[in-house]
Amino acid sequence: MKKKTLPSAPAREADPVEFTRTLATLADRRIDILRRIEETGSISEAARAAGVSYKAAWQAIETLENLAGGKLVEKSVGGSRGGGTHLTETGRTALLIADRIAEARSRVLKGFTKEEMSLAGSISPAASVLTSMRNNLPCTVEDVRHGPALVRVTLKLDEENSLRASVTQESAQLLGLEPGARMIAAAKATAVEVSRGFSSFSESNVFRGTVIRCARSEKGGEVALRLPSGIVVVGFARHNHGLRVGMPAEASIPPNAVVIARVS
């Protein structure tokens, strides 16, 4: 019986240079899932071996395909082994690129001193991809609570401040969220409200700091706060906020506005 291949969607044009750069910053688990599909010929087997759900494995593949601009895996039916899943030429190229990047990264890191390694680990993840997120806050996973649909995560920013965030079960699996894992919490400045003070009953994350930059008070605008640990949070204050540089103020960030990135 002749093997049949399911038709794939036409590929859109992608910038190979940008795709290569992005591969360098992706969490290893996504590439690991792609590699296991190549080895097993099955997405469900690849997911099981990687320790994630079938849905999470597909989320990883779809993200990579969006970046690549085309299909990385294809399902086939029929044939002597009853069909399965295999990598496309683009998928095999993606694995090759990922391996070469990992080798190059390893060679570079071996040349760093202990102090340089620590700084590289802090800067590299946030600097690798330029986004509109004004707030990129280094943090450590403090607590992970799994609900029926969402995973609620507590992230420690410093000795005084923790940040609550909500992610899907699939994202939690792909990020490898567990206590002690290093992450970056990101939020758009437009999602952060700054004021002299918020209600103690606020469900948002509230941080207290000192105003270091402030736009005009009458019409409202951007305000930057420095927390006692030195972390800077940028947000917006409403009109007639009355804030000035040097004054104490608070920044409020809703948990659902927080994006979590893994520090590899």
Q: Is residue 38 part of a domain?
A: yes
pLDDT in tens, 146-168: 998 899 999 999 999 999 999 99
List, for residues 203-235, the tens digit of each pLDDT value.
889 999 999 999 777 778 999 999 999 999 999
Any idea what DSSP says for residue 221? Answer: E
Query: In the beta sheet, which residues pair with residue 5?
Result: 76
Q: How many angstroms separate the CA atoms of 9 and 69, rounded?
A: 11
CA distance 210 to 246: 6
Give 230's DSSP letter: S
Strand 150-156, strand 193-195: pairing: unpaired
Number of domains the chain contains: 2
How many C-alpha atoms does 62 have within 13 Å on its Cβ side? 9
The answer to whether residue 70 sits within a structural domain is: yes
The stretch 21-48 carries a mean pLDDT of 79
What's the pLDDT at 123? 64
Domain of 245 in residue numbering reads as 187-257
Contacts for 3 with CB less than 8 Å, ≥ 6 apart: 76, 78, 79, 83
Do the domain assignments include residue 15?
A: yes
Query: Of the candidates 92, 110, 128, which is a domain's last residue?
Result: 110
The rounded distance, in Å, linking the Cα atoms of 222 and 225 is 10
Q: What is the CATH number of the domain that holds 229?
A: 2.40.50
- Does the global pTM surpass 0.75? no
Identify the domain boundary among 53, 79, 110: 110
The stretch 98-115 carries a mean pLDDT of: 82
With respect to residue 151, please indicate whether it lies within any of the assigned structural domains: no
Amino acid 101 reads I
Residue 44 pLDDT greater than 90, yes or no: yes
DSSP string covering 30-74: HHHHHHHHHHHS-HHHHHHHHTS-HHHHHHHHHHHHHHHTS-SEE
Query: Strands 193-195 and 248-253, how do they pair?
Result: antiparallel
More confident residue, 251 or 113: 251
Q: Write down how long the chain is.
A: 264
Q: Is 37 contained in some domain?
A: yes
CB atoms within 10 A of CB 88: 17
Residue 149 lies in a domain: no
Write out the two tokens for 37. Answer: 């599909």
DSSP SS3 for 89: helix
Within this chain, do residues 104 and 8 fall inside the same structural domain, yes or no? yes
Residue-level pLDDT at 76 = 76
Tell whether 139 is covered by a domain: no
Q: Map residue 108 onto helix, strand or coil.
A: helix
Query: Where does a domain end: 110, 131, 152?
Result: 110
**Read out DSSP for 115-183?**
HHHHHHHHHHHHHHS--S--EEEEEEEEEEEE-SSEEEEEEE-SSS-EEEEEEEHHHHHHHT--TT-EE
Mean pLDDT value of segment 58-69: 86
Q: What is the mean pLDDT of residues 124-132?
A: 63
Q: What are phi and psi of 178, to 5 degrees?
A: -155, 150
Note whether residue 168 is domain-resident.
Answer: no
Predicted local confidence at residue 8, as pLDDT: 41
Sign of the Cα torsion 209, 211, 216, 218 reads positive
**Residue 82, domain CATH:** 1.10.10.10
